[in-house]
Structure formats: C-alpha cells, structure tokens
C-alpha cells in the first residue's frame, strides 16, 4: 500500500517537472523572440526620434513603440533576474516558484506581443507608412561653389600683392 502511494506521488512529481521543463523552454524561446523584437524597436526609435517632429502621427507611433519597448525590457530583465536568482537558490522551493513565475511571464509576453501587433496595425490603418527623411550628420551636404568676385581692377586698391588668382 505504501509503495503504491509513493509510486503515485513520484509519477505526479515527474509529470509536474516535465510540464515545468516544457513551459520553461517555451518561455525561454519567447524571451529570445521578444529580445529580437526589442532590438528592432531600438533601431527604429534611434532613426525615428529625429523624424517625429514632422508628423504628429509619427510622434504618437514613436511614443507607443517606446512604451512597449520599456515593457519588453522589463520582462526580459525580470526573466534574467529570476533565472539567476533561482539558480542560486535552494532546489526545494525552486520548482514551484519557477512554475508560477513562468506562467506570469508567458502571460506578460503575450500581452506585449498583442500591443506590438496593434501598434503595427495602426501604422497601416492611419497611413504612417514612411518616415520623412531628416537631416543627419552622416549625410553629405552640397557645398556652394566658390566664386571669384568680378571686380574691375581700376576700383580695387591695395590687394594686388596678396591676391594670386
């Protein structure tokens, strides 16, 4: 009788641990994808900051992307903190805390992805297709052609020695 109870609990524990491993691997993949999305958003924001003053729609769009970027950074930071913290903690409470954390994290990532999809849908819906070009320090600015003034020599006094044309 005692053996069957122990066997039952071991099977349940094994199932729980395998579910946790599956959830953790799925969340790790979602965090990697979110991190990749975050890099794209950072590059966009870097480029769009200079261009947003031209169109209020772009200003709003940039603001929304910046907000969701902060949310994504928070989730990734929390994930990294929890993984480092739990690796250093004891194994007894680790498994159950991690499972609860993984569920919360997965839900939060899903919310962020929905926000990103809505922001991108609004981009198309409201005509924020292309960003106007902004002047950048890397752009080559055409310089004015240097011209020599046309002046009659009769009216010019005192520059004959210094001027060599």
Q: Is 33 inside a domain boundary?
A: yes
Domain that holds residue 35: 2-131
Nearest Cα to 38, choosing from 115, 127, 102, 121? 115
| pLDDT one-digit tens code per residue, 72-95 | 888 888 888 877 776 665 555 555
| Most confident residue range from 21-30, 67-76, 132-141, 155-164 | 67-76
Angle at 108 between CA 73 and CA 36, to 5 degrees: 45
pTM: 0.59
Q: Is 138 inside a domain boundary?
A: no
d(CA 48, CA 67): 14
Structure tokens at 20: 């946790």
Q: Is 111 inside a domain boundary?
A: yes
Task: State percent of the chain over pLDDT 70.
Answer: 57
What's the number of domains the chain is made of? 1
């Amino acid at each position: 009788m005692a053996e069957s109870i122990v066997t039952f609990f071991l099977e349940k524990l094994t199932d729980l641990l395998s579910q946790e491993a599956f959830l953790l691997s799925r969340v790790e993949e979602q965090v990697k994808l979110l991190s990749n999305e975050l890099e794209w958003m950072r590059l966009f924001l870097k480029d769009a900051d200079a261009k947003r003053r031209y169109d209020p729609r772009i200003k709003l769009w940039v603001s929304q992307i910046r907000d969701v970027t902060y949310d994504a950074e928070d989730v990734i930071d929390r994930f990294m903190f929890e993984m480092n913290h739990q690796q250093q903690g004891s194994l007894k409470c680790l498994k159950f805390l991690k499972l609860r954390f993984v569920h919360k994290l997965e839900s939060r990532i899903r919310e962020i992805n929905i926000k990103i999809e809505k922001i991108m849908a609004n981009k198309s819906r409201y005509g924020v297709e292309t960003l106007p070009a902004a002047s950048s320090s890397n752009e080559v600015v055409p310089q004015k052609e240097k011209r020599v003034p046309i002046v009659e020599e009769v009216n010019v006094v005192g520059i004959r020695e210094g001027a060599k044309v």
